[in-house]
Amino acid sequence: MHTPHVPSPTETVRDGECVVLDAVATLPTRYGVFKSYVFRVVDGDAEHVALVMGDVASGKSVLTRLHSECLTGDVLGSYRCDCGEQLDLALRYIAAEGCGVLLYLRGHEGRGIGLSNKIRAYALQEQGLDTVEANLELGLPDDAREYDSAAGILRTLGVTSVRLMSNNPEKFDTLVKHGIPVCERVALAIPTREENERYIRTKQIKFGHYFEENE
């Protein structure tokens, strides 16, 4: 069986690359067995995780998810957002195909404003502001995330084009800008709830997110 080459943590960072591989280990999960790679941003403190199943170094049309860290949704099961459900569905899709990459992008909490500020924004949302208005009321960007690191990780893994599981056009634009074509958008259709309907509609209206709802 062909074993793809991925740099070991002791190898030098690629010239001009924004991330460096720090650690590698096997990670058995309820979705199946993944290889986990921890990448560190060269000019910062952020650490990102790549969960890889199968031989993705063949490079082309790799099923991929760029997932922004969300403690409240991913870990605590919050219904204020759809993050945890998107994470679960993306991992199920990769497991069903037996091949793919999920990048867990840390430092993206609350669209990059951090956990404390996200909770402060929640309090403002309870007073009637939407997610964008709440961030701006706090004097913070509506979205402070960056995806350049994600492109660097994919390049290091040998991925040259993707089928992207996302509703966010910014992720598509960043990957294409960094030379990773998006061959297909794979929708993650999450049913809305009373608790997150305004959140999802705000993403659609103010950020241009694609939106399909399960029947």
143 tagged catalytic: yes
Of 145, 148, 163, 173, the active-site residue reads 145
Q: What angle do CA 57, 61, 67 make, to 5 degrees?
A: 85
Nearest to 198 by CA among 112, 145, 111, 134: 134
DSSP 118-177: HHHHHHHHTTT--HHHHHHHTT--S-----HHHHHHHHHHT---EEEE-S-HHHHHHHHH
At a CB cut-off of 8 Å and minimum separation 6, what does 22 contact?
9, 38, 39, 40, 47
142 tagged catalytic: no
Catalytic residue among 142, 143, 163, 198: 143
Catalytic residue ranges: 143, 145
